[in-house]
Chain A
C-alpha cells in the first residue's frame, strides 16, 4: 500500500531524461514510505525502453503496448488501470509538457490530491512537498492531506538514476476504450530553424524582459556587432515578436553551450536556465540583486543595462 508508481516519458523513439529522474524521485519516496518502486512505460517500443529503464532501485517495470507516441487519453486510461491493479500510495509523473497534459486528469479521475512541480518532498506518514511560487521568488512547503497522492516532479531536480537493476518486467494487458480517445496526434514539427543556429555560437548576448521595449533592441544590436556575438533571448522577447523563435533559449527553445553567455535583463526563470546552464561562463547584468540568474552566474553587474550596455559597446568600438 505504500508503493510508488512512476510514469516514464519518451518521444519519437527515445526515452527522455525525465524518465531517469523520476526513478530517483520515486526511489526516494518509496524508501521513505517503505514500499516498492513500480515504473510504467506506455506506448512506443516498450520492451527496449524497459531494458534501458532497468536501473538500480526499480522493482517492477510495467510495459503497456499501445501505438508509437504519447496520447493523453491512452495514458490516463493506462495509469487508471495500473493504479486500480497496484493500489500505490503515490503516482509520480514528470512535470513536463506531456506531464501537464495528463497528470491533472489522472488526479481528477482517481480523486487524488495533486501537487505539481515539486522540487522536493518528505514522507513520514504525512506528505510534505516543496514548491516554488511567484516566479521562483519564494519557496513553500505544502502539507498534503490523504493516504494516496499524485505528484509531478520538476525536471533536473533529481539526479538521473544510474546502475543496472534487476527489475521484473511485466507486460500489462488492458483494453483501451477507443471511444474515449478523442484526440489524435498527427505529427511533429521542428521550429526554430532559421538564419542563425544559436546552439553553435561561442559567445551569446541574450536579452530578457529587462530591455522593456522593442525600440531598445538597437542598443543591444550595437553591442552584438561590436563584439561579434550572437544575439539570443529569453521567452518574453520571442512572445512579443521582437525576435524570431530560433533565437529563443530555454526549455521550449534551444539548448546552448557557448563559451560565454551574457544575460542582459534576464531574471533567470527555471525554464530559461534549463537552456543555458551548459555555458562555460555565465555573466549577468540585472538591476535586481536577488534575481535567480545571479545564483548561476560567474560574474555579475547589479545595475541598469541602459547605462552599462552602451559603456560596454564603447569598450569594443
Chain B
C-alpha cells in the first residue's frame, strides 16, 4: 500500500510583528513544518513500520525554501518527496482550496496512492478544507479530524475515530482508498534522529511545475483575494498586576483569597 502525505511549510508570527498591507514582513516570520502534518507524517511512517504501507511519499506545494521542512519529514522516515511550485504562485497571496485540490489531484493521478493523509488544517491560513475537498475530487472516501486509526488493509477498511466536540469520539468505518485528515494527539511525532537527518540528504525531492503535472497557469486563478490584514483590537479590560515576580504573585494571591478559592 502506498501512502501519500501532504506536508505544508507554514509561517508562524513572532510575538511582536508589523503588518504591511496584506502581509507580514518576512523578518517576523518563522517557517516550520505544519503541526498537524507532523502527526500525519508520523502516522504514515508508523503504517510503514507496521508493514501496512510499502512506501510513504510526501507532497508539498511550496517554494524552494520549503525543502528544509520537507527534509525534516524525510528524516522522520518518509521515503521520498514531491515539491510543486510555479512562478505564477508568487503573485498569489492566498491559494484557495480549489487550486490546491487541482494540484494535489494531479499528483494523486501520477502516484496512485491507496491512502492520503493530510493535517486537519494548516497553522497559518487555517482553512481546514484541503483533505476533504481533495477526497471528493479524486473520488476517494474520507474522514475528517481523525484521532485514532486502525487500518485493516486486507478488508480495505480504515476504522477511525473522529474527534468531535465536547469529549465525544465518533467511530467510523471508511472504505479504502481514502483521505484521512489527521488531528494532533493521534500519535507522538518522533524527533528526527541524526541518522535520519543524514539519510534524508540522499532521499529524492522531485520538483514539479504546473506543466509537469499537465496543468496550466489558469489553475492558479484563486477565487479569494486578501484585501486587508490587521491586528485585532484588544478588547482587554483585565487588571494587569505590575511589579516584580513576588509583587505580582502577592497581588494574585490576594485575589485568590478574596474569591475564597485558596487560603
- List A residues at the B interface (Cβ < 8 Å): 11, 16, 70, 72-73, 76, 95-98, 100-105, 107-109, 113-117, 128, 131-146, 182-192, 202-203, 226-229, 235-236, 238-241, 245, 248, 251-255, 258-260, 262, 280-281, 283-285, 287-288, 290, 294-295, 297-304, 307-309, 311-312, 314-316
Cα(A70)–Cα(B172), bound, Å: 11
* Chain B residue with the shortest CB-CB distance to A302: B240
Partner of B97, one of A107, A252, A303, A311: A107
Scoring A142, A184, A300 by chain B CB atoms within 10 A of each residue's CB, the highest score goes to A142
Stretch in contact with the other chain, from B137-145, B191-199, B208-216: B137-145
Partner of A96, one of B165, B236, B259: B165
- List B residues at the A interface (Cβ < 8 Å): 11-13, 15-17, 19, 22, 24, 94, 96-98, 101, 120, 123-133, 135-137, 141-145, 161-175, 181, 184-185, 188, 223-232, 234-236, 238-241, 245-246, 248-250, 252-253, 255-256, 259-263
> Which B residues are in CB contact (< 8 Å) with A104?
97, 128-133, 136
Partner of A191, one of B124, B167, B174, B227: B167
> Which A residues are in CB contact (< 8 Å) with B169?
188-189, 191
With A105-B133, A138-B229, A186-B173 as known contacts, state yes or no: A113 contacts B224, CB within 8 Å.
yes
Cα(A132)–Cα(B129), bound, Å: 15
> Which B residues are in CB contact (< 8 Å) with A73?
141
> Which B residues are in CB contact (< 8 Å) with A132?
126, 232
> Which B residues are in CB contact (< 8 Å) with A281?
255, 259
Cα(A228)–Cα(B11), bound, Å: 40
With A141-B227, A183-B174, A189-B168 as known contacts, state yes or no: A283 contacts B255, CB within 8 Å.
yes
* Chain B residue with the shortest CB-CB distance to A70: B170
With A186-B173, A290-B234 as known contacts, state yes or no: A145 contacts B162, CB within 8 Å.
no
Interface of B is mostly: mixed
> Which B residues are in CB contact (< 8 Å) with A309?
249
Give me 25 A-to-B residue pairs in the complex whose CB atoms sit less than 8 angstroms apart, sorted by A's number. Answer: A97-B145, A97-B163, A98-B164, A101-B144, A104-B130, A113-B98, A117-B126, A117-B128, A133-B124, A135-B13, A135-B126, A137-B231, A142-B225, A145-B225, A182-B175, A183-B172, A191-B169, A227-B262, A294-B234, A295-B236, A299-B252, A300-B236, A308-B249, A311-B250, A312-B249
